Amino acid sequence: MLGLPDHVRACLFDLDGVLTQTAKVHAAAWKEMFDGYLRERAAREGTAFVPFDAVGDYDEYVDGRPREDGVRTFLAARGVHLPEGSPDDPPEAETVNGLGTRKNNLVLRRIREDGVEPYEGSVRFVQAVRQAGLRSAVVSSSANCRDVLVAAGIEELFDERIDGIVARERELHGKPAPDTYLEAARVLGMEPGAAAVFEDALAGVEAGRAGRFGMVVGVDRMGQAEQLRAHGADIVVRDLAELLESR
């Protein structure tokens, strides 16, 4: 009925790009933040400014990762290593946390100005999951996860939420480590083999494979089906509604 194996009794969904149309908002905010910083740094050091690629760099270094990991990983690829700072750092601080705060402020501004739209096919699929008696959870690296769910009007569709705030409180490693997905399965009372992971990010698909979940569904919103398969997706769909249509 859901296009899933019979042994799957719970569904664990990434947020941005799977449930809501916010992946493009995050990509734009990362580009605005990194381009601003890289331009400042290039002017200061007298070097060439090389902009952040909102497709290639986003997919490779930041998509699906906790915010600070994204800052750290991308800058390391450019040979830049900044002090960590602290979560209280202001956006003008030249630290990993400071740049993370700057990016988060940009995301929040865009969400306030433009709102949040869920993917209609994903809403239909989650509703079908619930009607079939399966458990459901959102697993997101974002500390703004609940705000986005509320803004999209879909918070009530999920039994549990493991987000950036919960991960920090419980000291869970972020994607591509499987910790947050494993925690979601645990709080739902499921073994990993009885849960399916739904991800559009390469790091998230890696997390699903590393956690030995019963199924890893790659959601291809960006034309990267082959990369999703290479990173561990069992199947790849363009939209979750395809799973309903496959019955």
Catalytic residue (choose from 16, 69, 89, 220): 16
Catalytic residue (choose from 14, 69, 163, 179): 14
> Cβ(174)–Cβ(167) under 8 Å?
yes
Q: Is 16 an annotated catalytic residue? A: yes
> Cβ(140)–Cβ(164) under 8 Å?
yes
Q: In the numeric block, which tokens belong to residue 231?
A: 């990173």
Burial 33-66 (b: 16+ CB within 10 A, else e): bbeebbeeeeeeeeeeeeebebeebbbebbbbbb
- Give the SS3 label for residue 97: helix
d(CA 198, CA 200): 7
Q: Is 69 an annotated catalytic residue? A: no
Active site residues: 14, 16
